[in-house]
Amino acid sequence: MKELISLPKENFLRGLKICLVSGLTFLAACKTEQPISSSSDPQITAYPDREKKQDSLDRIFLMRQKENVLKNYQASATRDFDILHTDLDLSFDWSNQSVIGKAILTIKPFFYSQKTLQLDAKDYEMGAVYLLDGENRQKLNYGYNERELTIYLTKEFSAVDTFLVEINYQAFPERNSGAGSQAITDTKGLYFIDPLDTIPGKPRMIWTQGETEHNSKWFPTLDRPNERFTQLFKLTVEDSLVTISNGRLVRQEALEGGMRKDYWEMDLPHAPYLAALAIGNFAKVEDRHGDLPLGYYVEKGYEKGAEKVFAHTPEMIAFFEEKLGYPFPWQKYDQIVVRDFVSGAMENTTASIFMENLLLNEREAIDSDWDYIIAHELFHQWFGDLVTAESWSNLTLNEAFANYSEYLWNEYKYGKDEAALKLISEMEGYFSESEEKLDRLIQFQYEDAEDLFDAHRYNKGGVILHMLRLYLGDDAFFAGLNEYLKRHAFQSVEVHDLRLAFERVSGKDLNWFFNQWFLDRGHPELIFDIDYSIPENILITVHQVQDLEKSPVFQFPLEISWYEGEERKSKHFFVNKGFYQVALENGSAVTQVYLDEGKNLLARRTQEISVSQYQRQFEESVLGVARYEALDSLIAREAEKELTAILPLAVKDSFWAIREKALGIMQADPSWAEKIPGIEEAILSLAENDPKNSVQSGALEVLAIWDADKYQPLFQRKVNSLSYLVAGSALTGLVLSEESSLGNEFFERFEKEDNFRMVIPLAEFFIDRSVSGKREWFFEKTEQLNKEGLYYFLGYFSEYFIRMPEEGASEAISFLYRLMEQSPENYLRIGAFQALMGFADQPEVVAKLKEIASKEQDIQVRNYYDYFLQVLSDEN
């Protein structure tokens, strides 16, 4: 599953004095310590000293912790039966949002003889259940509690017996559906999108989302990750609609009344949560990787965009096949973009489903940056689909690999610098979460499996695989993955299977590695000290200061590097103590060394590094990630002298992220043009010629802030760029000009654009120039913009009607109320709230905000509302 859903990282709101951390970071729920009730404590006798009494209290606390662990222990599902094959015959009642189904399950007892079959079947209206024997159908008694179907078999079946059960039912996925996790935001299992075709411009669709155990909302099964079956899905739909499911489309049958039945056969076994279907008026873009058919399904009109968005798929498959030494394991691979998806994407076997952010036209796809999520779901076809975690406790065996595939693809396609920056981003995501909780990656104690979809299982897991790769070396690491896949293909696994695969290949004992990283909590928190007093033999001290009651003393390799002229040298040491010292024995005199220069170690680190040392790091390091760190650190310290020295180098750096970072620091301060002779000409060169559109865009934005009037001819040329990044920044430059002779008619030629990068500067123009008569345009854009674009736009939308209430402020407020109440996306509800805060001078708006906020179900969103409503109350 991908991904912890990416929320907008920018905030374009106007007129609101609200500080948002990282653009859209929800306030964490407040946590309070619950004291142990003295009335329930065992009697504690008086001790002569307080320490002994505290020791006793600690033992009682630990005893209670252990009892709690036992209560919450989530064992792998017991396998009483094994479903060998699932045959579904489904039709769909759009008006009632229900599934009418007949399931024929081929089943055998797993080992012990059984007489009662219990299946997961959530929120059905049950019909008849039969035992099938050739042409004979014997009706069976059953019990049903709306969660589980208990079927009473006619006799006791043994492990050598195989039998067929037919179940007739109608499933209602909408019933009892609820909030899921940060990664999977709902639990319906099957979703009807605009089923009555009432929303203009929105297509009717059906799609499924089975992870974790939600597919039993639409077909009866053993909804556990350690189950595995083949399947035949027969889908009856209107003849105008397209169906996609797992495996191959083997037959299409015309029916009366304009209907059709499609037969999708999956002849290789996979887990129940990976079964899927999608139905809609899709267009299909066909592609191939050798003999493997590939399909990219999107709404009609987006075919050219899909060709670009998914263009790297064949190359990705070839790359992963070569790295793993294992061919793509399935019959075909489809990628489907749907509306209102409840996650980033989902790796259904042979049929990954993606959120609508990947629905781009040809021009938008020019700057498409979705390789990471495409690689993530593709890698799951091996790790998660072919070899599946036997329980959700082992979820990281699916998600860590998919997460690390993003690094592997970046490293191969875009270079080590970009991959390393990706790795740091993953670490920071984990570190942020670790401030709230420290979990084991293999976590058997939890209340809800949905809680496991977090930055531990994803981010930390991926970084750990990278560290294991560096420790073993590439040859052993990828040979170990090959061994793991071959030995466990079409099987369920736990973490020890992975460890043993690497041990068989490498000959190394890896218990220490798996124990500390997978089976224990936390990460090293390191204090580094470097003693340069003997420059020919520098002394390095590494002190681990993490809380040892929560985390172990870690063992890890540490690279120490330095430069002699332009030559990079390094040594590797193995830190295995809480307090570790080593003499570098470097020989030649050295005045600056780097600990983990490439930032490969998952650790929080503290080290005294001066601004002059960061300047030297930027100037001499051959690693882009180290230069990026140095630049970022100097910016954070506002080291003007050192920045003045390195910014001319930064704007010409070979790593685009550094060029972009340098532009970011200069954008808000035109005085850099005076401090650094020639820097403006260098930025102009980037705006004209940089091969990376995001860098061109950043350079245009710098010039627009510095002197929008001076660069009007440049902006007028660049506004016609095919890249929305570039064109949008150029349009911003045109809007910011105070001396431009361009009239309203020039800007109004962009009114039909529906990409937020063009819409937002145009909205800015209409607001700043107080252009009347744009009410319909503003409302039209709320319908045309995709969800992320709408989030960016909402502040401008409200600002227009705040400035010009006669244009329809009451209708704008009503729209924002509806969005805040009804949007399934939490960030859009937040965006509507922020926009409404611009009308907070109206008491009735504040009252309505409080009313809507009181009904919010998402605790983080609710806390966000409460915080800012309290701030508003305090100010008044």
Residues 342 and 430 in one domain: no
Residues 270 and 356 in one domain: no
Q: What is the pLDDT of residue 786?
A: 87
Residues 229 and 96 in one domain: yes
Rounded Cα gap, residues 592 and 605, in angstroms = 17
Residue 364 included in any domain: yes
- Comparing CA positions, the residue from 321, 602, 607 lying closest to residue 471 is 602
Residues 101 and 116 in one domain: yes
Residue 231 included in any domain: yes
Quote the DSSP letter at residue 140: -
Quote the DSSP letter at residue 364: G
Q: What is the pLDDT of residue 38?
A: 30
Extended beta strands in 145-218, E state = 148-157, 163-171, 190-193, 205-208
Q: What predicted TM-score, i.e. pTM, was given to this entire model?
A: 0.90
- Comparing CA positions, the residue from 824, 839, 835 lying closest to residue 787 is 824
Q: What is the 3-state secondary structure (H, E, C) of 154-168?
A: EEEECCCCCEEEEEE
Residue 480 included in any domain: yes
Residue 85 included in any domain: yes
- Comparing CA positions, the residue from 352, 357, 356, 340 lying closest to residue 376 is 352
Residue 811 included in any domain: no
Q: Which domain holds residue 252?
A: 79-174+188-277
Strand duo 333-337 + 292-299: pairing: parallel
Angle CA 758–764–769, to nearest 5:
130
Residue 204 included in any domain: yes
Which SS3 state, helix, strand or coil, does residue 707 take? helix
Residues 133 and 273 in one domain: yes
Residue with tokens 């037969």: 263
Which SS3 state, helix, strand or coil, does residue 231 take? strand
Residues 504 and 448 in one domain: yes
Residues 435 and 568 in one domain: no
CATH number of the structural domain spanning residue 332: 3.30.2010.30
- Comparing CA positions, the residue from 715, 784, 724 lying closest to residue 363 is 724
CATH number of the structural domain spanning residue 420: 1.10.390.10
Residues 458 and 322 in one domain: no
Q: What is the pLDDT of residue 2?
A: 47
How many independent structural domains does the chain possess?
Answer: 4
* Token couple for 284: 């299909």
Q: What is the pLDDT of residue 873?
A: 85
Which SS3 state, helix, strand or coil, does residue 250 take? strand
Residue 840 included in any domain: no
* Domain boundary, last residue among 324, 340, 368: 368
Rounded Cα gap, residues 698 and 663, in angstroms = 6
CB 103 within 8 A of CB 117: no
Q: What is the pLDDT of residue 332?
A: 98
218-248 residue pLDDT tens: 999 999 999 999 999 999 999 999 999 999 9
Residues 230 and 203 in one domain: yes
Angle CA 750–754–756, to nearest 5:
95
CATH number of the structural domain spanning residue 543: 2.60.40.1910
Residues 529 and 512 in one domain: no
* Domain boundary, last residue among 368, 397, 428: 368
Residues 260 and 285 in one domain: no
First vs last Cα of the chain: how many Å apart? 45
CATH number of the structural domain spanning residue 232: 2.60.40.1730
CB 695 within 8 A of CB 659: yes
Residues of the chain with pLDDT under 50: 2-54, 57-58, 61
Q: What is the pLDDT of residue 876?
A: 73
Residues 257 and 113 in one domain: yes
Residue with tokens 């937020």: 756
Half-sphere exposure of 334 (CA within 13 A, CB side): 23
Rounded Cα gap, residues 391 and 405, in angstroms = 22
* Token couple for 245: 């499911």
b/e sequence 79-113, b meaning 16+ C-beta within 10 Å: bebbbebbbbbbbbeeeebbbbbbbbbbbbbeeee
Residue 495 included in any domain: yes
CA 521 to chain CA centroid, nearest Å: 22
Q: What is the pLDDT of residue 740?
A: 81
Q: What is the pLDDT of residue 185?
A: 61
Rounded Cα gap, residues 388 and 497, in angstroms = 11
- Comparing CA positions, the residue from 865, 831, 862, 864 lying closest to residue 846 is 865
* Domain boundary, last residue among 339, 368, 397: 368
